[in-house]
Chains A and B, each alone.
Chain A
């Protein structure tokens, strides 16, 4: 390390979504502390993970000082209130996992206990009818939540955008704030003989890109973290067998624009439908052990609702994560660090999370303190492992026995950390609580109930109120939800209302 006053030289390897998000985040939030260079090669394509996001993306975009409308316009974005899961628990059944809550706690007892009690009396409607986010999604309506603590504040929203446009948008933003881009292919990695730290990347044309800190955003190849430093990969294929996706866009088949992503279970995985402004994104996430790539491509063509706009493209991946995402002076962000299939739209979140922690724990003097590295790895591992368990739940909580794939995931042994959660739910309708990481009570309840995994027993207090009184109270709530939804504009109308949000017609 040179002069402690000079900025830390950050070299980002890889110009995909994760790479440009990292470069933009560091350059914007650590001006003068860090200088950022990014190495990418036009010869290497990008995976363009995830077209759907979680509400956290809004905080990231806001922190960078990016205008929401401009961002939506550039990425052809629509609003997203949740995910509609179809055929997961049983063929023919569906539910929406909303960015929001169901009902409200009454007398300290969670709404789902009251709902279970009402169900016992045959007086409950679908639990989604008591969620404003779900009801609005089903009605294809959207309005941003209110900032008070009324019913209209009980949801959040994210975006559905074109990931192949998001990367370039972040690139333009990053370059505008001083990130230096190097076109070139990395052919060598220079290490310090003593510390083993990476000191420079050698490019094919002979240039050397020197740095103090290297962020590996090279995707699955994980050129620095995996190939060079040999960080072990924890493979989770036995729990999450999907390892391919066949992606294909098509035209919109309906006038309505869904403010939600659809995930439909398939014989060997599931397929997404993500409505963007000008097209519908489709993809079949499948297990290559159970069907061939050709079969998957045929299936995605057959299931597209609109006219195909391209031939299907195959993406390959492996679920798992590196045992350490920060090793020496190399930090993996995105696929170089880990991958979880896009079932709950977590890919961009996981990159954003790593970037946020990296900025919090940034080695301002240039030298990496092992304590910061350990803290980073602890946080990243916790996030990955919690998301992993939640994804496994979607496969495991099923009665499907119509294919080898579903037989496998239905009967597999789940991680102990998940098994305990499932048992607590089955026996007492309770959710293991935590306040750190992703996916709280409402998310778990949405999947449990939505996939037909109902508990055996619920809170004793729910049984102490006359069923008809309970029915009246919940009906009032449902009417309030219905009234709120009726007052919302349609999703397409809301988008169109402000031209600044709209991309030019392609």
Chain B
């Protein structure tokens, strides 16, 4: 007869940044009888997952599950909405491209768009037509989150949230406190070994020790717990991911926009995240830049620079320690992948929540899927550097995993091979490949497709776009209104 496993009695979350606190909330909600203690403060700006002002649509779903209300983020943490990421400078033709979220297009429309995007365009012919409702809305500056549960002309539009990291963290702290999550300030200065390869307790400098059954390492790139494990090993991504220096710009004037930008320059990439507290620029380069040059590219004063050696933990769960965020995978903040990855890994951990006795097989299964998630991010990032213009800036790089096959299938057939645990859906990958300058081939069935069917799909999309524009309010006005009257 199967018996429930003896539950965890105490979990220590090392690292009190926005990731560690959300992880503590998730664990506490999953296991209300278990004591959850956060140890230590925010790992700081070099911990990209903790410093990130934004995530991807998955995080909205996780927030819902954990009772973190989107309205609260908007009202109290400078929350704002992103519908698309705009890429510029990556493609040789200089058209740029736009990546929206979700997978809402019907197959005939996808084919029609592939045909448009695959065309040879003459200079001055203008950008290809919008490929999603999100792009149409973003260009018009119209949006408000659609009310859940009722069909509207914009219900198929998925979005990501941005926020002010410090205010968001305060919001999470309040939620954690309300749930009875414990907190110990201070620095972990020693790790007490337990049975086998488990940790028994961590020592806090100048204070005592805290014993626990299970430890989460959310300490950022230092990976204070996991890296101290005797079986810790690092899988280096340096060969395929060339960013070595990340410059963090000071937020400039507030920017209300439904899009964020990723631009390739002659010296490196620049990411700009819009926000009510300012536009947040970051710059990634293969070689160090003079301060003035970096600031010119950032369009802002540089607050600091972070040196980067990208890679991941070979196994993010060792013994009774699981690393999340920068403690598990270290990579350039080129797009909002850090929190998305960390939150998907957190959701996987909650799904597979162990008991006090940890079975090596469940650890293996967690690591298998968790590594697939990290390698998925690795491949998506490497794709950026595989583009022709990026190679001119960063040099040619070997392609990790199945990336070469993906690019080949896309270029010859417009096909996105399915891979497990990827951060992007196939339609998102399609748009990203286009934005980075690849031209989609046409799938065999599309060569034979019915032109009338595609014309119908185009007309239907045009009608949907019109309805969406008529339905959605001007975004800036809507945002001002909800911020003035929260709740």
Seen from chain A, the residues whose Cβ lies within 8 Å of a Cβ on chain B are: 29-33, 107-108, 113, 116-117, 119-120, 359-362, 364, 369, 371-372, 375, 420, 423-424, 427-430, 432-436, 454-464
Contacts and interface: CB of A to CB of B under 8 A. Distances in A.
B2 A116 contact: yes
Contact of A108 (B6, B7, B351): B351
Contacts of B5: 428, 457-460, 463
B3 A360 contact: no
A460 B359 contact: no
Nearest to A105: B351
Contacts of A430: 352, 362, 365
Contacts of B418: 435-436
Contacts of A372: 413
Interface in B1-42: 1-8, 30-33
A464 B355 CA distance: 12
A429 B350 CA distance: 15
A434 B419 CA distance: 10
Contacts of B353: 459-461
Nearest to A121: B1
Contact of B30 (A29, A108, A371): A108
B362 A108 contact: no
B362 A33 contact: no
A424 B361 contact: yes
Interface in B392-419: 405, 408-409, 412-413, 415, 417-418
27 contacts: A29-B448, A30-B448, A33-B447, A116-B2, A359-B444, A361-B444, A364-B447, A371-B405, A371-B408, A375-B405, A420-B361, A424-B359, A424-B361, A424-B364, A428-B361, A430-B362, A430-B365, A435-B418, A458-B5, A459-B4, A459-B5, A460-B7, A460-B354, A460-B355, A461-B7, A464-B7, A464-B31
Most B-side CB within 10 Å, residue of A29, A362, A429, A460 = A460
B456 interface: no
A432 to B, nearest CB: 6
A464 B361 contact: no
B2 A429 contact: yes
A31 B448 contact: yes
Nearest to A374: B405
Contacts of A120: 1-4
B366 to A, nearest CB: 10
Given A359-B444, A359-B445, A463-B7, A108 B415 contact: no
Contacts of A360: 413, 415, 443-445
B195 interface: no
Given A108-B65, A119-B2, A464 B32 contact: yes
A423 to B, nearest CB: 5
Given A30-B445, A460-B7, A463-B5, 7 more contacts: A120-B1, A360-B415, A371-B405, A420-B361, A424-B361, A458-B2, A463-B7
B282 to A, nearest CB: 33
Most A-side CB within 10 Å, residue of B2, B351, B415 = B2
A413 B267 CA distance: 58
Nearest to A420: B361
A360 B446 CA distance: 10
B420 A435 contact: yes
Contacts of B354: 428, 460
B361 A463 contact: no
Given A30-B445, A33-B448, A427 B4 contact: no
Interface in B34-64: none
B119 interface: no
Given A375-B409, A434-B420, A364 B444 contact: yes
Contacts of B33: 464
B482 to A, nearest CB: 28
B266 interface: no
Interface in B338-395: 350-355, 359, 361-362, 364-365, 369
A323 to B, nearest CB: 20
Interface string B425-453: 00000000000000000011101100000
Interface string B164-178: 000000000000000
